[in-house]
Amino acid sequence: MIASVHLADVGARTALAMTRKPPPPGSISGLRRAETALAAPLGASILPKPQLGRAGLVAFWDDDDAIDRFLADDPLAAKFASGWHVRLAPLRAYGTWPGFPREEVTDQRHVDHEGPVAAITMGRLRTSQAIRFLRASAKAEGAVLAAPGVTFTTGLARPPSFVSTFSLWESTRALSTYAYGSKEPAHPDAIANGEAKPFHHQQVFIRFRPYVSRGKLEGKNPLDAVFG
């Protein structure tokens, strides 16, 4: 299994239409699961302001051939073609998500890997916990913007319940220091709050190795230094 993340600036009306309903598993050859969402910059505000014109797609695939077919032939891929996408191989995961082979990926924090990493979080938000989640998330998101080694971040959401973040980091060490370190406790505190009283019906955190990066966002490929 591999994953891909696609982001494109397509205008508010088109983005809303593209993200209203994700393609179901199997509707695209080799697709195990997909989530579509509007993007929102990460930040310390309790009420995030969406980028109404930026659409996002997070997908799990059987293999690279499945992504190649999607990019070559699918109308949804054509709508994302003006933006940027990255292919991702899983390194570590905590939690579960439909279409993700949890039993095939370790949950150990330490995984040998040199080079940049990507992180995806996804959750199905409990409506009753929305305020708690937004408060904890705002603190963690405010901290990530100042975290050493972060190179790209975005939030993704599809109301009423799907919430996600995607980030790129210079190294595993940089990501782990932010996620679990004590110097800036906002993210560890958010983890502890969610474990004490769950924010979500279902959630997953996945660390990835990015290995293909194509296209641009706002004139730049977020992984140009590695794949340019």
pLDDT single digits (tens) 184-206: 677 777 888 888 899 999 999 99
Beta bridge pairs of residue 7: 56, 84
123, 35 in Cβ contact below 8 A? no
Q: What is the CATH number of the domain that holds 168?
A: 3.30.70.100
What is the pTM (predicted TM-score) of this model? Answer: 0.93
Q: What would the pLDDT profile of 109-146 be if each residue is shown by its tens digit?
A: 888 899 999 999 999 999 999 999 998 888 888 888 88
Separation of alpha carbons 105 and 91, rounded Å: 7
Sorting pLDDT into bands at 50, 70 and 90, what band is 228? Answer: low
Q: What would the pLDDT profile of 152-174 be if each residue is shown by its tens digit?
A: 999 999 988 999 999 999 999 99
Separation of alpha carbons 50 and 209, rounded Å: 27
Looking at the predicted structure, is the pLDDT value of residue 181 above 90? Answer: no
Total domains in the chain come to: 1
131, 121 in Cβ contact below 8 A? no
Domain hosting residue 88, numbered range: 2-227
* Cis amide leading into 160 (omega within 30): yes
Radius of gyration of the chain (CA): 16
Q: What would the pLDDT profile of 76-119 be if each residue is shown by its tens digit?
A: 999 999 999 999 999 999 999 999 998 999 998 888 899 999 99
Task: Supply 180's token pair.
Answer: 């679990």
Sorting pLDDT into bands at 50, 70 and 90, what band is 47? Answer: confident
